Structure 1
Amino acid sequence: MKSAKVIFFLLLGLTCRLTYGQSQQDREYRNFPIVLSMQFHSLSMPFKDIKSNFKNVGFGIGTEVSLNGERNWVQQFDVVWVKNKGIGNGLLFTSQAAWRPMISNGFFTEIKFGMGYMLSKHPSSPWEQKGSQWVKSDQQRKGMLALPIGIGTGYYNYASDLFISPFAGYQMLLLSKYNKTLPIVPQTLIQTGLRIYPSYSPSHKN
């Protein structure tokens, strides 16, 4: 858990340094949008039993910064409340690099990858074996390293004032140390949401 936190904050510091001092004027990208999303979760292989995702609705909030001063290469930071009564609710913290090539007329595609950390709560009191007996465990939560890989699409139309960019995506998560029988487990998220770009510069004019 400590190593995951160290790596996460190193990534945060690196991307903030890369984007420090970026001028928001005369660019077609604005750092630090407010990213709000709905997240549909499932414990499943990618593109299998997709309808089960819509039984588990969670929410996310995050932001992002450009890695090259443009809109096509960004670093994302997200916190997602994962809701799944079957396997337990949890919080997912991720940082991902996203490449967004434009298709046409403001529409883009997206490929993203990164790392994260899932803090999950057991849906019921877990049991563990001590000697020849099974007893209830005092550990109600578990932390797991996560490797997220995703694809997506959306619409982006830059404006000097506040503007909104809708998006949708599909993401696979590989979680480590799920249990002793399954050390690595795949999970999936169907994502939809909005990136809200406020006008942070009061002196910026149309």
Structure 2
Amino acid sequence: MKKQVLIVLGLIVYLSSFAQTPFLTEKKNIKEVREIENQLQSVFIGFDTTRVQQDYFPGAVKDKDYYPIKFKRTNDDFFPELFVHYYYDENDSSVVCASYDWEIMNYVQNIFTDGHRFETEQKRKKEYLKKYKEVKKDVINSLGEPDKIDESKGDEGYFYKLEWFKEDIDVLILFSFSTKLKAMGPAKFGSYRIRLKLEYK
């Protein structure tokens, strides 16, 4: 038992000691990731089925099915809730990419019947900006200032992109918040998302 506790504590060390949300800062395998998420009392959702863009992570192929392991964090009080996807090498189960997403589309099944969710999020600009700044600060505390910064605010909203390029890890933060909703017939929709993506080398 003592040995198991020490192993878990050792794994937690590889999570950034961020003030708000722990993020995996070193390459691990799926078994280790499950132990970490269990320690954080995350909810295991299962193995998701998804397709990603070409080079979404190293070696990713367009139109190929991937099966990342998915968790919902319970220690984060922001809404939309935080879902974590770990993409892994099918040969040795080592994690190649982790995606941490606060995304309102997780709660939208149909924009024609769930459009009220966009209208609700549109009123939460201060909350989204606060959360974005927390995530940004935490990554800076761990990795230093971004290598690339694009914090553009236009007529339609906020669309930010931050990038870090390190020896063992590349990090991307995307933030989108629509101040104006777009129309599709009777439906209105917008983009309300914070994503932190880490690629392990």
Q: What's the TM-score, normalizing by structure 2?
A: 0.30
Structure 1 or 2: larger helix share? 2
TM-score by length of 1: 0.30
**Which structure carries more strand by proportion?**
1
